[in-house]
């Protein structure tokens, strides 16, 4: 991480820093704490392979991003175009 990136995270309140004699200091533990706050959870396996059987309900809603939906539509259109003579 660059010094400017650490300053940006400190300004956002995610990183605790100390200012001594006009210089900014932080500890490795504080950086690790900041990283835990910024960590994005991994996608669940259910999101990668959504069930096509609508009669089976797992009790949780599968969320598909707009980008994933577009990829699926483009893939479907590409397969249809290839199958035409």
Backbone angles phi, psi at 46, to 5 degrees: -65, -30
CB 64 within 8 A of CB 50: yes
**Which residue ranges make up each domain of the chain?**
3-38
Specify the pTM. Answer: 0.45
Q: How far is it, in rounded angstroms, from Cα 50 to Cα 29?
A: 39
pLDDT one-digit tens code per residue, 67-83 = 888 888 888 888 888 87
pLDDT one-digit tens code per residue, 12-34 = 999 999 999 999 899 999 999 99
């Amino acid at each position: 991480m660059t010094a400017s990136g650490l300053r940006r995270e400190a300004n956002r309140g995610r990183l605790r820093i100390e200012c001594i004699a006009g210089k900014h200091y932080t500890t490795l533990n504080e950086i690790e704490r900041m990283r835990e706050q910024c960590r994005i959870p991994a996608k669940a396996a259910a999101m990668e392979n959504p069930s096509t059987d609508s009669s089976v309900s797992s009790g949780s809603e599968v969320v598909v991003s707009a980008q994933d939906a577009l990829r699926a539509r483009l893939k479907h259109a590409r397969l249809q175009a290839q199958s035409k003579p």
